Amino acid sequence: MVKMSLDPVQVMSGQVSELKVSASSNGESRESWEEKEDFNQDNLGLTTKPKAVTGRRARKVEGGVFFPKPENAVTVAVSSRVLFRTEREQKVFEQKGVEEYLRYQIEHENEPFAPGPAFPFVKALEAVNTRLRELYPESEELFDIVLVTYNHAHVGVRLINTINHHNLFIERFCMTGGSSPIGYLKAWHTNLYLSADADKVREALAEGIAAATMFMSEKLTEVSESQLRVAFDGDAVLFSDESERIFKAHGLDKFFEHERENEDTLLDHGPLKGFLEALGKLQKKFYTKGHRLDCPIRTFLVTARSAASSGIRALKTLRAWGLEIDEALFLAGAPKGPMLEKIRPHIYFDDQMFHVEDAAEMGTIAAHVPYGIAQKHNIKK
C-alpha cells in the first residue's frame, strides 16, 4: 500500500514523477532564476497587517488583454499548497511562527516552488483554453484559474515569480492573510475548489461549491499534455448518497433491490454534478466545430456499481440530466486503481478514502470529496 499524506501539510518523500515540468526548487535546493518582471510590493497592497488581497495581472492574448468574466468562465480555484509544493515553508510556519515564515518567504522569493499534485491538472486546463481560443477567439467560455491562498500578501511576489517560471496563465489571485477564502469563492462563481485543507473543503461543500481535498503520493503516472481527462465516482460525487445509505444500512442485497425498484427514479445530484455540467458545456463547443473525435476534454465514470443490477439507474439519470460521459466503467466492487492506471486521468474524484488510496497506489492523482454517509466510515491510513 502506498503511503499517502492525509495531513494536508505533509507530502510524501521519494516522489517519482514522470511528468514533464519545468525544473525548479522543492524547498531542498535553493537555485534562483532571473526574474521575468519587476514587481513593486506597494502595488500588491502589502502591509504589515494581514489583509485579504485579490488581484489580476494583465497579459496579452492575441494582441489584446483578455479577462473572462467569472460568470461566463468555468472557474477553478486552486490552493497554492496543491498547485505547488510548500512543505518546507509550512514547517517554518509551524516551528517558528508567522513572522519568521514571512521573513523566510521574502528572503526566498526568487526561488520557485516545485509543482504540486494539481499542477498537471492546471496545465491541462490551459491546453484546453488554447484550443478554445483557436476556435472561438472572442468567447469568454474558458477555464479561469484562481490561485487561492491563506498567505499574507508579502508571499505574493514569490507566487507570481513561480507562476511565471512555470509559464502558467494564472491572472487572478486571492490572498486572504489567514482568513477563510469561502466568501471569495462564491464571488468568483467558483465551479471547483481544490485544496489541501479538508476543513475548508467541507466548508465549501456546505456552501454548495464543488470541492475536493488533494494529496500527493510517491508515484505519479505520466498524463496527457493535450487532452484533459477527468474521472468521477458516481454515488456521493456525481449523484447523492441516497443509494449508498441503503447499502451501508442494509447491505448489498437490499441495495440491489432498492435500485431495481427505483430504476426509473432519477438519483438526486451530488456535489460535483455542476462541474461535470461545466465540462460538458465546453465539450459541446468542440463538437459544434466537428471535433467530437479529437475533443481535448474526456470524462469518465468509474463506479463500484455493477452494470446490470444497479448501473442502469445511473445511466438513466445522466441521460435525463442531459449529461454525456465519454466512458463508463462499472466495476462491481473490483479495485479501481488498475482501471485508473489505464485511464491516466489528471484528477479522479471519490468520496471514499480507500478508493483514493487505491488510486494513488497505481500513480493516479486522486481527490477526496468529503461528502455523504461514507465519511462516517472512512478510516485514515
With residue 65 as reference, give the H or E element that holds it: strand 64-65
Q: Kindly report the number of other CB atoms within 10 A of residue 377's CB atom.
A: 11
Phi, psi of 214 (to 5 degrees): -105, 150
Q: Which of 197, 233, 241, 350 is catalytic?
A: 233
DSSP 7: S
With residue 229 as reference, give the H or E element that holds it: strand 228-232
> How far apart are alpha carbons 243 and 235 in whole angstroms?
7
Whether 233 sits among the annotated catalytic residues: the reply is yes
Amino acid at 220: L
Q: Are 302 and 231 in contact (CB under 8 A)?
A: yes
- Residues sharing a CB contact under 8 Å with residue 305, sequence separation 6 or more, in sequence order: 234, 235, 311, 314, 330, 331, 332
Residue 159 C-alpha cell reads as: 507566487
- List the catalytic residues: 233
